[in-house]
Amino acid sequence: MHKKLILCSLWITCFPLSIFAQNKTVKGTITDIETQLAIPEVFVKTTTTSTTSSKQGTFAITANKFPLELVFSLEGYASKTIILKKEANNLQIFLERKATQLSEVVIDAKNEKLLGVQKVSNISLQLRPISSAHEYLRAVPGLFIAQHAGGGKAEQIFLRGFDNDHGTDFAVLVDDISVNLSSHAHGQGYADLHFLIPETVQRADYYKGPHEVSLGNFAVSGAAKFSTKDRLNRNFVKLEYGQYDYARALAMISLINEGNFLTKNNESAYIAIEGTYNKSFFESAQNLRRLNTFTKYAVDLSENHQLKTSISTFHSDWNASGQIPLRAVQSGLIDRFGAIDDQEGGDTKRIHVNAQLYSQLSNDIQLTNQLYYVSNKYNLFSNFSFFQNDPVNGDMIHQDENRNIYGYQGDISFRNLFQLPKSTTTLGWSIAYNHNFIGLNNNIGRTLREVVNKFEIKETNYALFLKERIQLTDKLTALAGVRGDFFNFNSTEIVPEPTTGNVTSFRLSPKFSVFYDATENLQLYAKASSGFHSNYANAAVKNSTVNPLPRAIGYDVGTEFKIGKKFVGNLAAFYLQSDAEFVFSSDGFEFENKGRSERIGSEASLRYQPLPYFWLDTDLNYSFGTLLDAPKTENKIPSAPRFTSTGGATLRLQNGIKGSLRYRYLGERPLIEDESVIAQNYFITDLVVNYTTSTYQIGLSIENLFDNEWREAVFYDASQLQGETQPVDDIHFTPGTPFLAKLSFTYFF
């Protein structure tokens, strides 16, 4: 008996040591063969285990025997398989870009970096041509945008039955800096993406619902995250010219060339400069002028530390025809491209300064630190009601803002913490301080008549989140977390009555998702999470009935699947309930709380590749929204889209010809609660064709190919024209783009 105990003790003691002795680690770096850029989030697997490459393109994977088969795969790259005969600590893996082949799409939850990201959105993004930063948003299935102020203002965003205004319930981030601006002069969560030069984007990730733990304020209906390129693989200049005197010029040039490239430090730097002019198709010239610059520098401080710094600047000014009343067009007073008050418009300036430090502390520990600064200056002149409030001078208003944001954020992630196998634990933290002055004035044209109000707002957001990803079984993966957001709102009313107030609020947001890989080509998932958007600081301070951080709860169930080698799809159903449906009156800084709301809907995203060079896709989305505290006869959410669909065909030939024919359909939607007034639907088709060689690219893009008449932005409210004795409730709209062709030429060097 004693001998058996001794043998058992020796076996228990030596068994882990024997396993440790047998297991070896394979390490390496994955690089794009053309650009020489490190590739993050590559799926690396053996027959027994898997991992993903870090932000620096590094990976480490355990091997218990040799020879070892390693498979490297990432959508948009050709898969690569190698056989290792012995342990390696400095593998150099080069992957080659290629058009996404649906046969190579992997449906499983083991690629933790992409867990929760909309896979079908990323597939579409790699296929379709992108001509503007807002085209990236249109890649989100079911997301629609509308411009209604001359092209210089942030677009109106629709998703999952939310009229997000300019971003109230949809979060947008660029290099992990929030684009959304709280307590903005024109709209809560205002997200103007015009500063982003589309050619600088390396990666875009999309999220539906409030389920991503790392996302806080405004991420309710969904979110979009953009990451810019670290370096250029080649310099280029691009020229575009289109109808209605549209012109755009872009240059992107590396500042460190082969002659002075410091390979030891993997150093890179480039600058991008973009200028745009657009007279546009309105009877009154829009005269949009925009100048963007972006400069980025990246360097490896050591083998385990990488620093990225960037500066972006943005300046835009424009004129606008605003939203015109339907009765004025029907009576012949103005044309559908005319204006009641053509002195609308504005100007805006934005600066980003960003520094990000990535540290690989060990094979299992990664640390990120980020410091950033944002400056935003904004002037907007609008006339929504014409002569309703002032029959003599008109109702032109001026909204202005001068803002500075200082932020710090970071996170640290651990693999297999607390001896949990196949798990990743991430702890994140952030602090963002907004200091801005916003004001509202009554104007005669663009000349100040009187100051209505002026506020100084100081808003601080402290956040902490914990995210756990654990592979419970070979087929079952859970993603759970919780984040806490603490806000301090300080509002000083300067005009008309000098007063100061302060309020604090805390929101705890638990989030949980589970993914089940039923088969190699079928994944089922379920999600339940809480999110929120903050409200205007001055409203929260002045009115105790206004919840500073109204909560939203979201549930998703769905599946991602693959049929054969040519068909990939996603089916989902969702439910979203919001504690408060606030409507912001932009001409008076006033709010109306319509109470609690709910939205229930379903989505289908389908991708089919009948030929190696030809893809078809369609997205079908339905949402039905109601106000829970209103009577059933008057409980429909105004402007909330119900049925929408986008899709198209993409062609990529090996001779350099690429083409895309796409449609977008936005169905009818109620404009008031009793559904007595309905916004028209529209169906628009766009075409893009490019021919690319090693030294140049020629492109043609056509918006609204069949020249349909459509209304891009639609509202129902009161206005009064000259000669009318009282206000009239009417549809007010911005006409959609007519047939618009643009030519482009790009020269690579």
pLDDT tens figures, 548-579:
999 999 999 999 999 999 999 999 999 999 99
Least confident of 139-153, 157-171, 369-383, 594-608: 139-153
Q: What is the pLDDT of residue 39?
A: 85
Q: What is the pLDDT of residue 150?
A: 74
Angle value at C-alpha 164, between 488 and 341, nearest 5 degrees:
105
pLDDT reading at 247 higher than 50: yes
Neighbours of 293 (CB within 10 A): 17
Residues 6+ apart with CB under 8 A from 426: 213, 214, 411, 412, 413, 414, 465, 466, 467, 468, 469, 481
pLDDT reading at 476 higher than 90: yes
* 458, burial (CB in 10 Å: exposed 0-12, middle 13-18, buried 19+): middle
List b or e across 330-345, with b for residues whose CB sees 16 or more CB atoms inside 10 angstroms. eeeebebbbbbbbbbb
CATH superfamily of 207-748: TonB-dependent receptor, beta-barrel domain (2.40.170.20)
The band of 9, judged by pLDDT with boundaries at 50, 70 and 90, is very low
Q: What is the pLDDT of residue 3?
A: 45
Domain ranges of the chain: 2-98, 207-748
The band of 414, judged by pLDDT with boundaries at 50, 70 and 90, is very high
Least confident of 51-65, 157-171, 648-662, 704-718: 51-65
Kind of pairing, strands 222-228 and 170-174? Answer: parallel
Above pLDDT 90, what percent of the chain? 72
pLDDT reading at 23 higher than 80: no
Expressed in percent and rounded to 5, the helix, strand and coil fractions of the chain are 10, 55, 35
pLDDT reading at 727 higher than 70: yes
Q: How far is CA 156 from the centre of its chain?
A: 13
Q: What is the pLDDT of residue 584?
A: 53
Q: CA separation (Å) from 374 to 114, 198, 348, 407, 523?
A: 28, 20, 13, 9, 40
User: Span 212-222, mean pLDDT?
Assistant: 97
Q: What is the pLDDT of residue 261?
A: 46
Over residues 100-140, the pLDDT tens digits come to: 788 777 777 666 556 777 766 667 676 776 777 888 888 88
Residue 107 backbone dihedrals phi, psi, to 5 degrees: -105, 90
Residues 6+ apart with CB under 8 A from 68: 26, 46, 83, 84
User: Span 266-283, mean pLDDT?
Assistant: 95
- As a CATH number, domain 2-98 is 2.60.40.1120
The band of 585, judged by pLDDT with boundaries at 50, 70 and 90, is low
The residue that leads in pLDDT, 655 or 129, is: 655
Q: What is the pLDDT of residue 87?
A: 84
Neighbours of 715 (CB within 10 A): 18
Say if residues 358 and 309 touch (Cβ distance below 8 Å): no
Closest CA to 202 of 226, 223, 178: 226
pLDDT reading at 746 higher than 90: yes
End-to-end distance of the chain based on CA atoms, in angstroms?
80
CA distance 55 to 113: 10
Q: CA separation (Å) from 510 to 119, 214, 528, 532?
A: 23, 11, 8, 11
* 456, burial (CB in 10 Å: exposed 0-12, middle 13-18, buried 19+): middle
CA distance 521 to 518: 8
CA distance 418 to 454: 53
Q: What is the pLDDT of residue 51?
A: 84
- Six-digit token pair at 185? 């002069």
